[in-house]
């Protein structure tokens, strides 16, 4: 708990698995949460899944109290009755408004943080959503640190940040720069201190090319871009080392030597973390003025309504948000 302030859970795509995994997370012991949803819909889903859960609607988030017998709900209304597996653009604005409400709760300190269920972007676009995704929308309503917002994926065994995200692999070499690396690593170091209680974080910088370029014989980016960035970081007091070849950076002994990895592209760092803990990975947005985590999976439209959705990643996201809140509170003077 964080002074009895809840972690607010957004509904995500109502035709997906968000409601189901939230109910299962509550049953698994997550009691410091409240969800933005329709209480009657949650009741129907619980009954259909054979889950014994009672619900308490709240008029305002300030009414939240740590309860062990009822899942507390901030009510909303879906214009179109959600049908499992079949998103309806009529519900898109409600999804957007729910995210906005969660942001307001966090920024006003009414909530300790927000955990977002997965959205169906195509449905939101049909409803007029003008952002590429969750992160950009959150950033539009927040105070952003230099270099933010930035995506970090984390599990118990590994934390990783990709410098470039959803871009073609062929475009990556032109998109990396010493400045971008220094900015990202500096933000990462700051957040590891603030939200993870690590006094002097060690950031391992992954090379771009095989064998980290072998001093320019297998590509020159590692020598000409990444190494100068590491030197600048070290001069600024950030503990950063590398560049390391990706093929030797993620085994158990190597992971014991650093606190997080900054990689150059998406699959370079997401493959290792999803291999280590596919169901327990958490998506964390760094650089916002509030805590936001999310399960590291999609809407699950193909299994929605079947009762087979696993809540592992949502539970991990809630636990991660709680740990971050505790660390941030402990760091305050």
Do the first three CATH levels of 1-143+290-333 and 157-276 match, i.e. the same topology? yes
Residue 2 has pLDDT above 50, yes or no: no
Report pLDDT digits (tens) over 69-124: 999 999 999 999 999 999 999 999 999 999 999 999 999 999 999 999 999 999 99
Q: For the domain 157-276, what is the CATH code?
A: 3.40.718.10
Q: How confident is the model over 215-231, as a mean pLDDT?
A: 96
Q: What is the pLDDT of residue 1?
A: 39
How confident is the model over 147-165, as a mean pLDDT? 95
For 1-143+290-333, CATH number?
3.40.718.10
Query: Distance of CA 301 to CAs 15, 81, 227, 297, 318, Å?
Result: 7, 16, 44, 11, 22
- Residue 332: the pLDDT is 58
pLDDT band at residue 3 under the 50/70/90 scheme: low
Could you report the per-residue pLDDT of 241-266, keeping only the tens digit for each? 999 999 999 999 999 999 999 999 99
- State pTM to two decimals: 0.94
Round to whole Å and give the CA distance between 309 and 291: 25
For the segment 314-324, the average pLDDT, to the nearest whole number, is 97
What pLDDT sits at residue 66?
A: 82
Q: For residue range 16-39, what is the model confidence (pLDDT) as tens digits?
A: 999 999 999 999 999 999 999 999
Instruction: Say yes or no to pLDDT of 63 above 80.
Output: yes
Domain coordinates in residue numbering, the chain: 1-143+290-333, 157-276
**Nearest to 98, CA basis, from 68, 67, 127, 69:** 127
């Amino acid at each position: 708990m964080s002074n009895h302030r809840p972690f607010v859970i957004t509904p995500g795509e109502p035709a997906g698995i968000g409601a189901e995994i939230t109910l299962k997370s509550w049953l698994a012991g997550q009691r410091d949460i409240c969800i933005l949803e329709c209480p009657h819909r949650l009741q129907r889903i619980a009954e259909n899944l054979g889950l014994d859960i009672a619900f308490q609607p709240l008029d305002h988030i300030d009414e939240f109290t740590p309860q062990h017998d009822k899942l507390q709900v901030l009510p909303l209304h879906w214009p179109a009755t959600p049908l499992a597996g079949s998103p309806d653009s009529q519900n898109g604005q409600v999804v957007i408004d729910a995210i906005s409400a969660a942001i307001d709760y966090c920024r006003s300190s009414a909530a300790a943080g927000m955990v977002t269920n997965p959205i169906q972007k195509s449905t939101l676009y049909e409803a007029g959503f003008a952002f590429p995704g969750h992160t950009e929308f959150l950033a539009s309503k927040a105070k952003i640190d230099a270099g933010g917002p930035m995506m970090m994926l984390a599990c118990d065994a590994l934390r990783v940040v990709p410098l470039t995200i959803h871009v073609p692999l062929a475009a990556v070499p032109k998109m990396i720069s010493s400045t971008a690396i220094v900015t990202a690593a500096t933000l990462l170091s700051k957040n590891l201190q603030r939200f993870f209680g690590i006094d002097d974080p060690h950031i391992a910088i992954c090379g771009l090319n095989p064998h980290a370029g072998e001093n320019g014989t297998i590509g020159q980016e590692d020598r000409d871009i990444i190494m100068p960035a590491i030197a600048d970081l070290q001069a600024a007091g950030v503990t950063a080392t590398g560049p390391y070849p990706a093929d030797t950076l993620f085994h158990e002994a190597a992971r014991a030597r650093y606190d997080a990895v900054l990689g150059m592209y998406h699959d370079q760092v997401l493959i290792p973390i999803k291999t280590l803990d596919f169901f327990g990975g958490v998506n964390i947005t760094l650089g916002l003025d509030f805590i936001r985590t999310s399960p590291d999976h999609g809407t699950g439209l193909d299994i929605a309504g079947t009762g087979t959705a696993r809540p592992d990643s949502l539970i991990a996201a809630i636990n991660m948000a709680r740990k971050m809140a505790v660390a941030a509170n402990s760091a305050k003077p």
